[in-house]
Chains A and B, each alone.
Chain A
Amino acid sequence: MNKIVEKEQLNTNVVKLVIDAPRIAQKRKAGHFVIVKINKKGERIPLTIADADPDKGTITLVIQKVGVTSHKLSLMEKGDYIDDVVGPLGHATEISDVGTVLCAGGGVGIAPLLPIARAFKEAGNRVLSVLAARSRDLIILEDEMRECSDEVIIMTDDGSYGKQGLVTHGMEEILDREKVNLAVTIGPAIMMKFASLTTKKYNVPTIASLNTIMVDGTGMCGACRVTVDGKTKFVCVNGPEFDAHKIDYDEIIMRLGAYEDQERKDYEKFIETLGK
């Protein structure tokens, strides 16, 4: 049982939960994730750890409402308990002083990007961040990203904040201007696909952190399998980060939708019960 000690609504669809998990808070590094299961009847879902406080023994999770489980999580309040939280899982990001690091985050992907940007900054890198979302209210954790970035470019699809355009436009602005040694991209699979096509053009080594369907998250079920460089890999134990230029994004997008029909029906049913 893990207590929610703090809750913050980052926008209408995204909440930040600070959760009591002392052991995980001690061990967690940038790039790690946890598996969360709300209650007895809940499903197991992977969530990247956005932040941690080893002294207080807490970890921070950022959740976007997209289906039944994430919606249920977003309705939980300070003082509530989550039945199961396990981790840290996956390989931590390899952090070193490489020079200039371009961090490209889309939507709720900005949350897992934050600890990585922070770690690269602490290691002495120049950190340039591009944060992208459909509109202004979907840009999250801007202040925190600014704190650990030398520069932040905001891109919105509708131009309601920052510059109008896609994440790739902001990335190109930087890549055209200066030498970048490493890029990191986290966000929806389709966004990571185009972000990595962009950095490939500029020959900049790039890592992408993948979020796939998982059941156990410990290397047992194989639901998270992806094709990297023509080989099947498991995101939970081989990842979650891979060479962005070698990932088969189309396969990821296809596999992410594996339960879309059932998930949509379940979600509609759930929303109905909320109205009652």
Chain B
Amino acid sequence: METIQDILKSERQQPWREELRKSMKAKDRTSIQRVKMPEQDPHVRNRNHKEVNQGLTEEMALKEAQRCLDCIEPTCISGCPVGINIPKFIKRIEQGEFLESAKALKETNALPAVCGRVCPQEVQCEASCFYVQKLKKDPVAIGHLERFAADYERSSGNISVPEVKEKNGIKVAVIGSGPAGLAVAGDMIKWGYDVTVFEALHEIGGVLKYGIPEFRLPNEIVDVEIENLKQMGVKFETNFIVGTTATVDDLRKEGYQAFFVGSGAGLPKFMNIPGENYRRIFSSNEYLTRVNLMNAANPDYDTPVFSGKKVAVIGGGNTAMDSVRTSKRLGAERSMIIYRRSIEEMPARVEEIKHAQEEDVEFMNLNSPVKYFADEKGNVNKMMVQKMKLGEPDSSGRRRPIPLEGSEYEVEVDTVVVAIGVSPNPLIPASMPELEVTDWGTIKVDKDSMQSSVEGIFAGGDIVRGGATVILAMGDGRKAASGMHEYLKSKVGKK
């Protein structure tokens, strides 16, 4: 059987690739400086909801694509959770064949315009780039180029629909329409399955819609990628909670032969400190859902949101950055990140931290809330914060924050957003007692096939990981799709 390595090798040997490689000396390629993503001015953008990153121009993209050396051993690919053929799509850009480039992306990635925007490339493909590994130079801007190709295709009006195999009539159910579920759907539909995605909310996209703000990922872009999956034949059912609207057993009776659970994050975590249930103290899920999914900041929409002038966001991850930057855009004069470790230990992407700093977000590192105060109506008006110092590394490898006794002080606030993580969504495990879960409530799976303890039920994304990134969820989805495909082949005895 042909391995992925064989395929990559034979594609690399195609005449057009050979020609391109010869067209420019490696030395000339490596002497080009990495492109800079054009951005909205920080003090303009922190008052609007438009995208911060403006995207590369054709000229920029062509030049950046020239930097890629089309390596014999493309280490970048091994850094990509969904295994995109990175040199191929970049060389298509260099060739000027932007639509072909987008096609190359869609061979393995159902959501290139999304990934080009929100993947942490700096710790994945770009971290494995030859430039970083061997030349100690800035990596090829793989993420920016991915976004460029996907955006070019979308605005060209010439969106290619990936090839789909002949229908095999086998029904599979995908539970949850976030990045994990969409990745499963994208692969399974290509292989000829009859795929239905069930979504609890009224919109398709999961965290891409309710969580990630417009200024990082416009909903319109997510919708185009979903439309592409619909064109391929994926069916979507909104307002459908598997486990209550219908159980897995009901769906089995309706002919579904395999399931993927990608139900995502659930209950927001709180710190359980005094006053945390006062009004205007929100979980990041609530705050972002109101603004992103429900359009609460737009007066034409019925959902309200309170966002004040002095906003404290508790946490140091991407969700905390999304929340604090949203608060600026909703009119905050003072937006603060309160995080118990130092800035180096923050789990957020470097780019998000940098963008937040440029937008005048205050970083109060080595601080942790201990208590909230409120006015007579119960609206939070003050918080007590304690200073921390860093001790020895803990199990996460990061230095453990230690409270400094007697260092407490008060900060005036009128809005607090708690962004310290979520526990897995309890709805599916609660409806299926036979499904094995960990002590944290995440679903246990085989790490290769992503199959759970119940035959024919696969899982991935936050319901397995407990809280990760879009691209890791998509990687899980692709693995689970392969696992499901193998399972169904052996079970049904046909392709």
Contacts and interface: CB of A to CB of B under 8 A. Distances in A.
B38 interface: no
A220 B285 contact: yes
B241 A83 contact: no
B378 interface: yes
Contact of A218 (B246, B276, B378, B425): B425
A262 interface: yes
Contacts of B277: 225-227, 232, 251, 255
B437 to A, nearest CB: 15
Interface in A225-261: 225-227, 232, 234, 237, 251, 254-255, 257-259
B267 interface: yes
A218 B302 contact: no
A204 interface: no
Nearest to A39: B302
A84 B426 contact: no
Contact of B300 (A41, A222, A254): A41
A259 B215 CA distance: 26
B290 interface: yes
Given A221-B268, A257-B279, A266-B302, A89 B289 contact: no
B286 A221 contact: yes
Contacts of A62: none
Interface string B286-298: 1001100011000
A219 B295 CA distance: 20
Most chain B CB within a 10 A radius of its CB, from A44, A88, A262? A44
B302 A42 contact: yes
Contacts of B241: 86-87, 89, 218
B365 interface: no
B168 interface: no
Given A223-B286, A258-B279, A24 B238 contact: no
A86 B427 contact: no
A43 interface: yes
Contacts of B244: 27, 87-89
Contacts of A84: 202, 238-239
A44 B294 contact: yes
A265 B98 CA distance: 51
Interface residues of A, number: 40
Contact of A266 (B304, B377, B378, B427): B304
A194 to B, nearest CB: 20
Given A219-B266, A227-B277, A237-B267, A23 B246 contact: yes
A226 B377 CA distance: 17
Contact of A215 (B279, B294, B427): B294
A41 B304 CA distance: 11
Given A86-B240, A237-B267, A254-B279, A221 B300 contact: no
B173 to A, nearest CB: 14
Contacts of B378: 254-255, 257
Interface in B254-285: 265-268, 270, 272, 276-280, 282-283, 285
Contacts of B370: none
A220 B289 CA distance: 9
A259 B306 contact: yes
Contacts of A169: none
Contacts of B200: 86, 216, 218
A43 B202 contact: no
A220 B377 contact: no
B280 A44 contact: no
B231 interface: no
Contacts of A258: 279-280, 306
A68 B303 CA distance: 10
8 contacts: A89-B241, A216-B201, A218-B427, A220-B265, A222-B283, A225-B270, A227-B277, A257-B377
Interface of A: 23-24, 27, 37, 41-44, 68-69, 83-89, 215-216, 218-223, 225-227, 232, 234, 237, 251, 254-255, 257-259, 262-263, 266
Closest 10 CB pairs of A and B: A254-B378, A221-B286, A222-B283, A86-B239, A43-B303, A43-B302, A222-B268, A84-B202, A258-B279, A262-B304
Interface of B: 200-202, 210, 238-241, 244-246, 265-268, 270, 272, 276-280, 282-283, 285-286, 289-290, 294-295, 300-304, 306, 377-378, 422, 425-427, 430
